[in-house]
Every structure is written in C-alpha cells, then in structure tokens.
Amino acid sequence: MVTLTMDGRKIEAPEGATLLKAANSANIEIPQLCSNEELEHYGACRLCVVEITHKNRTRIVASCIYEVAEGLEVNTRSERVLNVRKLVIELLLARNPRHPSLLKIAEDLGVKKSRFEAEIKGCILCGQCIRTCREVVGVSAIGYEGRGINKRVATPFEESPPDCIACGSCHFVCPVDVIPMKEKDGVRNIWKTDFPLQKCESCGRYFAPVKQLEYFREQYNLPPEQFSKCTHCR
Amino acid sequence: MKKIKTLEELEQFRKEIQAQRDPKKTVISICAGTGCLALGSKKIAGAIKEEIQSQGLSLKVELSAIKETGCPGFCERGPIVVIYPEGTCYLGVTVEDVPEIVSKTIANNEIIERLVYKDPDTKERVVKDSEIPFYKKQQRYLLGKNNFIDSKSIEDYIRLGGYSALAKALSAMKPDEVIQEVIDADLRGRGGGGFPAGWKWHSTRNAEGDPKYVICNADEGDPGAFMDRALLEGNPHSVLEGMIIGAYAIGSRDGYIYVRNEYPLAVTNATLALDQAREFGLLGENILGSGFGFDIKIMRGGGAFVCGESSALFASLEGRSGEPRAKYIHATDKGLWDKPTSLNNVETWANVPLIINKGAKWYNGIGTEGSKGTKIFSLVGKISNTGLVEVPMGITLREIIYDIGGGVPGGKKFKAVQTGGPSGGCIPAKHLDTPVDFDELTKLGSMMGSGGMIVMDENNCMVDVANYFLKFLEEESCGKCTPCREGILQMRKILDLITSGEGKEEDLDTLEWMGQAIIDGSLCALGGSAPNPVITTMRYFRDEYEAHIRDKKCPAGVCKALIKFSIDPENCTGCHLCARICPVEAATGEKKEIHTIDDDICIKCRACYEVCKFDAIKIM
C-alpha cells in the first residue's frame, strides 16, 4: 500500500492502482468516458485529468493511467483541471449535444451549454467498442478509420464485418448509445448486417447469435450440441 | 571489398584510400541534394563528366574526383558546384555553363566572374565558398563534410576519418565511458525535446529488459524543415556511426532508422550505406573484431506528422497505426515492443562521432551554459539566403537572419521568425538579439524544436500564419484525444471567423482559455504544443488580431475578406500589365489610360499587385 494525498485527504491505495481507481475507492468522483476496468489503459477522453505535484513539479495527468506513488499530492479539482474538463465536455457536446451521460457531466461541471456550434456525429471516439471487441471478445471486428477530426469507428472497408460474431458488446459498452442493435424474427441486426439467432431446442426462444455460439464452441473446443438450449432450459 | 576485421585493418584501409588521392589534384563537388537535383544538378554532373572527357582532361580530373555530394546548405543559389582544392564556388550553375567551367576553371584555373557570389551590398565578388558571408559565421562540423563526400561512397567517408570514432569507442572505451563522455558533452536531443542524450542512454543501459533498441528518428515533418534530410541524404554514414557507438554504449544489438517515405533519396542513400557498412564489417557480428554485434533496419513511415512523436513512432514500427500513448513510463524503460529503447533524432546521432573523436571537453566548449555544440537550422520564408545553416548554440537570431541569411529580401520589413516547427512560436523583432538555445527560446514562448526557422515580413498576416499552422496540425492530429482532435478544430474555426471579418471581441479570451486547456489536457506533445502559434502571435501581435476584429482590417493585406485592391491614379501609367495578368478580367482599362479594378469581380489573387512596376496597385 502507498499513501498519497488527494484533495487534501490522506488516502491509501494498493501499489499499481491508477489515481482514478484510488479516487473512486476514496469516494472522490472523477468524470470519465473512455476508461473501463475490463480494458487496457487508454487515456483518450481526457475528462479524468488531475493535477499532481511530485518532487515540487506540478503537472496535469490522466488519472485513468497514472499510477499512485508514495507521497504524491493530487488535486482533482484545481482550476487547471476544471478548465480542461470544461473544454473537453464542451467539445464533446458539439459532437453529441443530447446524450444524458454527457449532459450530466456538463451539469456537474457547471457547463450550461457548449460554446461550439454542434456538428452532430454522435460517437465521441472513446474507443470502448473497438477495445472491447479486441481485448475482451477477441475478434477485432471493428476499428478506426481515418485520423484527426475525420476519425471514426468503422467496419473493414465499410462492409459487413466478416469477423463480427454479433455479440453486441460494442453496443452495450458504448457510453453514448450510438451503436444500434435490433432483434426481430430470430435475426439480430448490428453493423448493418443481419445475424441469425439460435432457437432453443426446448422452449423455442431465440437466445444468442449463431455466430457467437460457434465462436465459443471453437474457442473452448466444445461439442456441436453445446448451446442447443438456452440458459433457462439447460 | 573484403571485411575489415580489426582496427588495424581499418586504419590500413584508410591510409590506402588516402594515398590514392593527391590533395593537390582537382576535385569537383556538385550538390546532389534534393533541392539542387530538382534544379537539374544530375544533368550538370553528367555534362561535367562528358566535357572533361571531350576536352581531354581525364588525366587531370579522375572520374572519382567528380562527386555528387550532399547538400552544402546554400539552397537559395543552387545548383552549386565547388572546385577544390581552391574552393572556387559557382552558384546557380546551368548545363550551358559547363563547357566554360571545364575549359576555363578546370583546365586553366580561370575564374568565371558571373558564376561566383556577388555581395548584394558591396557588389564585391567572392570566389571561395568559405569566404561567402552565408558560410562565414557558420561552424559546420556536421554539414561541412557534405561538400567532400560523395553521398553514395563509404570510401569518401572513411577517407575523411569516418568510423574512427567507432574504432576508438570499441577499442579504448568501456560502454559506461562512452555514455559518460556523451553526458559530459551535454549533448541535448536535436529532435525538439532537448533531453540530454547521455542520460537517455544511461537509463536505457540500466533498464531491465532484453533486447534493447536504438532508433534513429528521421520522421522530419515540420513544414519548411529539411535538416535531417540533408544529413541522411548527404552523409548517412555519420548517422550510422553514431548509432553503432550508441548501441555499443547501451548494449543493443538491434537498431532501426524510421524515415519518412517522402524522403526517397534519404531512404536510398541510407539503405546503400547500410549495405556498405555490412560489407565492410562495420555492421553485423563481431564489429572490427570487438566481439560486439549490431545491425540496423530501415523502416519507412507513411508520412503522418504524429509518427515523429516517440510513442506513435513505436506504434508505427510495431505495425499498428501511429497513435501516441500516455508516457508516464519512459521509453528508456518501455519503448519499442515494451523494451528499453533509446530514440534519438538524426542530428543527435550525427553529433556522436564528433564527441567521441574530439572529446566532451571540446564539444561543450561550443555553445551556451545550457545548450552545447552546434545546431542546424533550415532558414526559410522571407529570407534572402534560403538554406541550411549550422551555427554554434548561443548565436543570436539576428546574426542568423541578417549576417548569414542576408535579411529580408525586397527591402521589406522583418516581422517575426517562427522557430520550433508548426507548434513553435512566432518571435517578434524586439527579441532578435536573443541567443538561440533550448531554454532561451522556451522563455519566449517558442521552442528549439528540430530546427525549422521560418522568417516572416510585413506582408505576412500573423492571424493568417497562426491559422495556417493550426490547419496543418488539425490535419495531422491522430484524433485519439479530445482536446487535440476537437480543440484544434474549434480554435481554427474561430481564427477562420476572425480572418473573414466575423470575429468577436470575446474570441481572444476564448482562444487564450482554450489554448491553455488544450496544452494541459492533450495526450501527447502534438496537442500539447499545438496552440503555441496562436498564443505567441496573440502575445506579440495582439494589435493585428484586434484590427481584424474591431476594424475589420487586415493590416498586412493578406486576409481576402478584409482587403480591397484598387489602382492609385497618381501612379498608374496605363501599362496594361495588370489587365493582362488578371485571370478574371477585374482589372481593366485602355492602354496609356488609368486602369481600374472591379471589386465585385476581383478574386484577390494578388497577381496585379505582384506584377505592377509602378506601385499603383494598393491594398486597402
């Protein structure tokens, strides 16, 4: 365990923990949109910045990446920190002016509205969908296309993603709900592609995409009859 | 050529090739750097070779004494041909000049007056390259060899003492001693950061992890900068030698040169140099019998500016897209493939053989308290002598711009110099006496960067300049973090409004506030320095911003929405030139009568303004 000061409070945190995690454990709230405990550190949204002082040097770091250190002084709400957060949320509101999670962060920061003209893109490029697909699901069906302001999340060559197993992880993990997924008549539609769902042998309910079940069987070397029934009937 | 296996063999070989050349015999150096090549220097070299044959001078000048060299720096006046041992320097040479050069100068030591440098002030002619004012104040330890080396010849490099520093390091110095020498020399990274190279090596050597990598960053991407290009094209072996010494010091067996694909000649010459070094036994296993082995691969970058940033460069080398990652762990601990890595820029590596050969004490005798050695700058923009200059640290901006650069052409007034590349800052005239070193430039809100120096005169609008650099960075942002991706875009949009006359008073505060937040909040140095051009121009040229916003005027006469072209009847002679050049028939009039410009049709292309000989076109 290491001891550090956060907003004037002495707190303890396990070695290797990020400042964000240490703050959350100490009930200090830091807004963020791209960090996820299941994923590797990324540090892209920059909402979670904090000001640290270490050996007389003060600087702004991303708390979702920076690790705790003995004697570190952290200020999670300094003027510089709040300025960065206000700018970031205003910039993101220009991409997506309506999503409640962004509006909530803006409200907490005292931002009533973005001074920047909205150019609605929806996606805030937190990258959670892409990283979940790669790091958790393990298929990398989607990725980034372009760079800078033209960067966006896309399927390869803008076509039906050949590696997608329709698991929907990207849809569920998106903090601003811009990856649509629909189910109708035994078919799941995601990334503009139809994926048939598996019908439960016993109850007849559609319970998971056929491709996802195939992927699991392949991954774990399971017999073909595995997943013929839904979780209730199994 | 068989492998050189020992230090003695290297020295023996050096003596042999030195003995082959009589120093009194003629050597002709023709610049074959990218700039002069574009001006046809390849044809000039071919013509010289043919002409020497046809005039029967083959005995006087051997084919190997006609050298296609790297860039000697005086790009403004290329193509450059220098004839040694006299050092007769001909500027702006064309193929048509060649027969005369051969028959007069090479055959009879006669000087061709029209081809030598003529001082624009004193009208005096200067024959020798070293006496041209452009070169006089320079100290060309790195670039100076370019004149004497055929950039495709390892023999030329060895003849001039090449690889003797490597031999010295391998035979007489322990790795720690090499590192200590570089630390004592106080060599700071030339890529922009200015981090002490020796300490970087020290950390890499002592870091846990194997293998360790040394990398040469040749992803030079600043607009108007071509220092590293000239070194890698003109004298690739000096960079290789530095890298091999560095690898020996750090304990690395694998090196990379990351060079942008837009530098095809640098790629060609560096690839050739690697092949030659391997053939000679200077790369590979058991270099010069020392037991130390090291090799280098060339990786070509796709031209993304951000890949010059270390973590993005690693990502690109690893085969991923060039996105930076947060650097709370140093590359010296976890760099390429998470292994200890020393990444230095081309110029930094090229300094290493000098330090090892001449010693730290000699090296840190040049420069200022905090910045040692020389620095190469590419002097471009509104400057009489465009080119590459190598100067000791501590020289003032004024000396570089006026004494070496020859000042602003056309009698125009100097306004600012942008140092440090697109994310550097614009320094105004009142700070021209600032000594150029890492810390002094930072104090002015700019930075050393990798050595770009863009001079601007009274005809440059500083708001427009800031907008230009922001546009560049907006396009080059990788798009990973919000402040850089979205913030630069929004700052640029505000500048667009200001330059089109729609700026508001509060925009200046917004720009200032955004600038600081982007600097604080961005993930890497690209975003972390992107607002600098806006911040420094607002600091030093606030009146120009205010003129755009309050008076809807562009004082420099650049921003199209805010200017009008008209003809001063007092000065107009009716020469009709403006009407002839105008692409949209906005300038009209009968010959010998006063002309007019129709503002409704005018597209503000400036063609009439540039072409008028009577100062009759006015920009309001």
pLDDT value, residue B21: 84
Element holding B168 (H helix, E strand):
helix B164-172
The rounded percent of chain A whose pLDDT value lies above 90 is 93
CA gap B223, B147 in Å, rounded: 25
Domain with CATH 3.40.30.10 in chain B: 19-148
Residue among A76, A55, A72 nearest A15 (CA): A72
Mean pLDDT of all residues in chain A? 95
Q: Residues spanned by CATH 3.40.50.11540 within chain B?
A: 162-363
Q: For the residues B396-409, what does the mean pLDDT come to?
A: 95
Q: A91 and B482 in contact by Cβ < 8 A?
A: yes
Q: Is B475 on the interface with A (CB under 8 A)?
A: yes
Specify the domain boundaries for CATH 3.10.20.600 within chain B.
374-457
CATH value of B462-550 in 1.20.1440.230, 3.90.230.10, 1.25.60.10, 1.10.10.10: 1.20.1440.230
A/B interface, count of CB pairs below 8 Å: 98
Q: Which fold has domain B564-619?
A: Alpha-Beta Plaits (3.30.70)
**A43, A124, A148 ranked by CB distance to B326: nearest:** A43
Work out the number of other CB atoms within 10 angstroms of the CB of residue B234. 29
Domains defined along chain A, listed by start: 2-108 (3.10.20.740), 128-220 (3.30.70)
B374-457 has which fold? Answer: Ubiquitin-like (UB roll) (3.10.20)
Cβ-nearest to A148 among B328, B478, B514: B478
Number of Cβ within a 10 Å radius of residue A8: 8
Task: Extract long-range pairs of B275-282: CB within 8 Å, 24+ residues apart.
Answer: B276/B154, B276/B237, B277/B154, B277/B237, B277/B240, B279/B1, B279/B3, B280/B1, B280/B3, B280/B4, B280/B154, B281/B3, B281/B4, B281/B5, B282/B4, B282/B163, B282/B166, B282/B240, B282/B244
Distance of alpha carbon A137 from alpha carbon A195, whole angstroms: 17
Instruction: For residue B516, list chain A residues with Cβ-Cβ distance below 8 A.
Output: 80, 83
> Shortest CA distance to B611 belongs to which of B575, B562, B564, B586?
B575
Which chain A residue lies closest to B322 (C-alpha atoms)?
A147
Tell me if B478 and A151 make a contact (CB, 8 A cut-off).
yes
H helix runs in A46-195, sequence order: 79-95, 100-108, 128-131, 169-173
Determine contact, residues B427/B416, Cβ cutoff 8 Å: yes
pLDDT of residue B473: 94
Quick check: B1 pLDDT over 70? Answer: no
Q: What is the mean pLDDT of residues B310-322?
A: 93
Work out the angle at residue B87's Cα, subtended by the Cα atoms of residues B12 and B104, and round it to the nearest 5 degrees.
115
Residue of A nearest to B476 (CA): A148
Q: Which amino acid is at A69?
A: A
A223: cis peptide before it, omega within 30°? Answer: no
- Which chain B residues contact residue A67 at CB under 8 A? 328
Which residue does chain B place closest to A83, by CA atoms? B517
Contact B444, B533 (CB under 8 A): no
B410: left (phi over 0), alpha (psi -120 to 50) or beta: left
Per-residue model confidence as pLDDT tens digits over B213-251: 999 999 998 888 999 999 999 999 999 999 999 999 999
Query: pLDDT tens-digit profile of B600-615?
Result: 999 999 899 989 999 8
Q: Who among A66, A87, A144 is closest to B483 (CB)?
A: A87
Average pLDDT over residues B200-217: 96
Check CB contact of B261 with chain A, cutoff 8 Å. no
Nearest Cα of chain A lies from the Cα of B620 at a distance, in angstroms, of 32
B152 vs A: CB within 8 A? no
CA distance A227 to B99: 87
Predicted local distance difference test score (pLDDT) of residue A233? 87
Confirm if B390 and B197 have CB atoms less than 8 A apart.
no
Smallest Cβ–Cβ distance between A84 and the set B321, B480, B483 belongs to B483
- Flag whether residue B302 sits within 8 Å of chain A, measured between CB atoms: no
State whether residue B515 sits within 8 Å of chain A by CB.
no
Residue A142 has pLDDT above 70, yes or no: yes
Task: Tell me the pLDDT tens digit for each residue of B276-296.
Answer: 999 999 999 999 999 999 999
Please choose, from the candidates A72, A76, A75, the residue with its C-alpha nearest in 3D space to the C-alpha of residue A2: A72
CATH class entry, domain B19-148? alpha beta
Name the residue facing B523 among A44, A67, A80 (closest C-beta): A44
User: What's the whole-number mean pLDDT along residues B365-369?
Assistant: 93
Residue-by-residue DSSP string for B303-334? --GGGGSHHHHHHHHTTS-------SS-TTTS
CB atoms within 10 A of CB B67: 23
Closest by CA position to A30, among listed A11, A13, A46, A9: A46
State the pLDDT at residue B288: 93
State the pLDDT at residue B121: 79
Q: Cβ-count burial of B493 within 10 angstroms (0-12 exposed, 13-18 middle, 19+ buried)?
A: middle
pLDDT at B122: 83
Enumerate residues 6+ apart whose C-beta is below 8 A from B333: B203, B207, B208, B209, B340
Give A37-86 pLDDT, tens digit per residue.
999 999 999 999 999 998 888 999 999 999 999 999 999 999 999 999 99
The mean pLDDT of chain B is 93
CATH 3.30.70.20 domain position(s) in chain B: 564-619
For A87, the closest of B476, B493, B517 (CB atoms) is: B517
Q: How far is B420 from chain A (nearest CA, A)?
A: 22
pLDDT of residue B410: 87
Distance, in Å, from the CA atom of A140 to the CA atom of A105, rounded to the nearest integer, reads: 30
Mean pLDDT of B552-575: 92
**Spatial CA neighbour of B26 closest among B99, B102, B80:** B102
- How deeply is B597 buried, as exposed, middle or buried, from its count of CB atoms within 10 A (0-12, 13-18, 19+)? buried
**How high is the ipTM of this complex?**
0.94
Structure tokens at B18: 């030195």
- Which positions in chain A touch B328 (Cβ < 8 Å)? 61, 65-67
Interface contact flag, B523 A62, Cβ < 8 Å: yes
| Residue pair B349/B239 in contact by the 8 Å Cβ criterion | yes
Quick one: CATH architecture of B162-363? 3-Layer(aba) Sandwich (3.40)
B-chain CB neighbours of A146 within 8 Å are 479
Q: Examine the pLDDT at B463 and tell me if it is beyond 90.
A: yes
Question: Which residues from chain A sit within 8 angstroms of residue B527, using beta carbons?
Answer: none
How many C-beta atoms surround the C-beta of residue A75 within 10 A?
Answer: 18
Tens-place pLDDT, residues A114-141: 999 999 999 999 999 999 999 999 999 9
For residue A91, give the chain B residue with the closest CA.
Answer: B486
Instruction: Please state the rounded mean pLDDT for residues B181-194.
Output: 92
Helix axes of B197-206 and B175-185: crossing angle, nearest 10 degrees: 150
pLDDT of B148 strictly over 70? yes
Nearest-Cα distance to chain A for B491, in Å, is 10
Q: Taking CB atoms and an 8 Å limit, are A87 and B487 in contact across chains?
A: yes
Q: What is the band of B119 on the pLDDT scale with cuts at 50, 70, 90?
A: confident
**Which tokens hold the place of A204?**
């007849």
Task: Using a pLDDT cut of 70, give the percent of chain B over it.
Answer: 100
Nearest CA in chain B to A34: B481
Side-chain half-sphere exposure of B115, counting CA atoms within 13 A: 24
